[in-house]
Amino acid sequence: MSSPMNLDDVLQTFIAESQELLLLMEDALLQIEQAPDDTDTINALFRVAHTIKGSAGLFGLTPIVAFTHVAESVLDRVRGNELRVDESLSALFLEVRDHLCTLIELLASHGDLHGMTAEHEQQGAALVERLNRYLDNRHEPQTSLVQIEPPQLACATRWHLSLRLCPDALRNGMDPLSLLRYLNSFGKISAVVCITEGLPDIAAMDPETCYLGFELGFVSDAGQATIEGAFDFVREGSQICVLPCDVDLTGLRALIGRLEAEPDAMVEAFIACGSVTREQWLAGSSSGAPTTVAAASVVPDLAARDDVTKNRGAKEPRSAEGNLIRVDAGKLDQLINLVGELIIAGAGANLGAIQSGIGELIEATSSLSRLVEEVRDCALTLRMVQIGGTFNRFQRVVRDVSKELGKDIALQVLGAETELDKTVVERIGDPLTHLVRNAMDHGIEAAQLRRERGKPEQGTVRLNAYHEANSIVIEVSDDGGGLNKQRILAKAIERGLVAEGQPLADGEILNLIFEPGFSTADQVSNLSGRGVGMDVVKRNIVALRGSVSLESEEGVGTTVRIRLPLTLAIIDGFLIGVGNASYVVPLDLVEECIELSSDDYGNQEFLDLRGAVLPVLRLREMFAIDGANPGRENVVVVHYAGMRVGLVVDQLLGEFQTVIKPLGKIFGTAHGLGGFTILGSGAVALILDIPKLLGQVASQQKHGTTLSPELTQ
Crossing angle of helices 7-34 and 394-405, rounded to 10°: 50
Fold (topology level) of 386-565: Heat Shock Protein 90 (3.30.565)
Rounded Cα distance, 585 and 563, in Å:
17
| Share of residues in the chain with pLDDT > 90 (%) | 7
The torsion angles phi and psi of 56, rounded to 5 degrees, stand at -65, -35
Q: pLDDT value at position 249?
A: 77
- Alpha carbon 90 to its chain centroid, in Å, reads 24
Q: Could you tell me which CATH number the domain at 157-313 has?
A: 3.30.70.260
Q: What CATH topology corresponds to 7-135?
A: Four Helix Bundle (Hemerythrin (Met), subunit A) (1.20.120)
**pLDDT, position 620:** 86
- Please, are residues 225 and 308 in contact by the beta-carbon 8 Å criterion? yes
Q: What is the pLDDT of residue 285?
A: 62
What number of residues does the chain have? 713
pLDDT of res. 460:
92
pLDDT given for residue 617 in this prediction? 87
CB 255 within 8 A of CB 241: yes
291-324 pLDDT, tens digit per residue, is 433 333 333 333 333 433 334 343 344 344 445 6
Helix-helix angle 299-312:250-259, to 10 degrees: 100
E-strand ranges in 196-332 read 213-220, 239-244
Cα 471 from Cα 690, distance rounded (Å): 13
> What does pLDDT average to over the chain?
78
- pLDDT band of residue 504 (cuts 50, 70, 90) is confident
Q: pLDDT digits over 505-515, tens only?
A: 777 788 888 87
pLDDT band at 152 (very low <50, low <70, confident <90, very high): very low
Question: What local confidence, expressed as pLDDT, does residue 204 receive?
Answer: 84
CATH number for the domain formed by residue range(s) 570-700: 2.40.50.180
For residue range 365-382, list pLDDT tens digits in order: 989 988 988 888 888 888
Helix residue ranges per DSSP H, 406-544: 422-438, 447-452, 485-494, 506-510, 534-543
Alpha-carbon gap, residue 439 to 478, rounded angstroms: 6
pLDDT tier at 530 (50, 70, 90 boundaries)? very low
Kindly report, residue by residue over 668-679, the tens digit of the pLDDT.
666 778 788 888
pLDDT at 621: 84
Predicted confidence band of residue 423 (pLDDT cuts 50, 70, 90)? confident
Where is mean pLDDT largest: 280-284, 317-321, 559-563? 559-563
Helices 118-135 and 62-79: crossing angle in degrees, nearest 10, is 20
In which band, very low, low, confident or very high, does the pLDDT at 710 lie, cut at 50, 70 and 90?
A: very low
Residue 264's CB: how many other CB atoms inside 10 A?
Answer: 10
pLDDT score at 692: 78
Tell me the β-bridge partners of 652. Answer: 576
- pLDDT for 712 equals 34
pLDDT, tens digit (0-9, with 9 covering 90-100), for 599-640: 655 557 788 888 888 888 888 888 888 776 777 788 999 988
703-709 mean pLDDT:
38
Neighbours of 709 (CB within 10 A): 22
Residue 31: closest CA among 432, 511, 392, 453: 392
pLDDT at 141 over 60: no
Which strand (E) or helix (H) includes residue 206?
none
Quote the CA–CA distance of 308 and 667 in Å, as a whole number: 64
Distance between CA atoms of 517 and 512, rounded to whole angstroms?
Answer: 10
End-to-end Cα spacing for the chain: 53
Q: Residue 523 pLDDT > 80, yes or no?
A: no
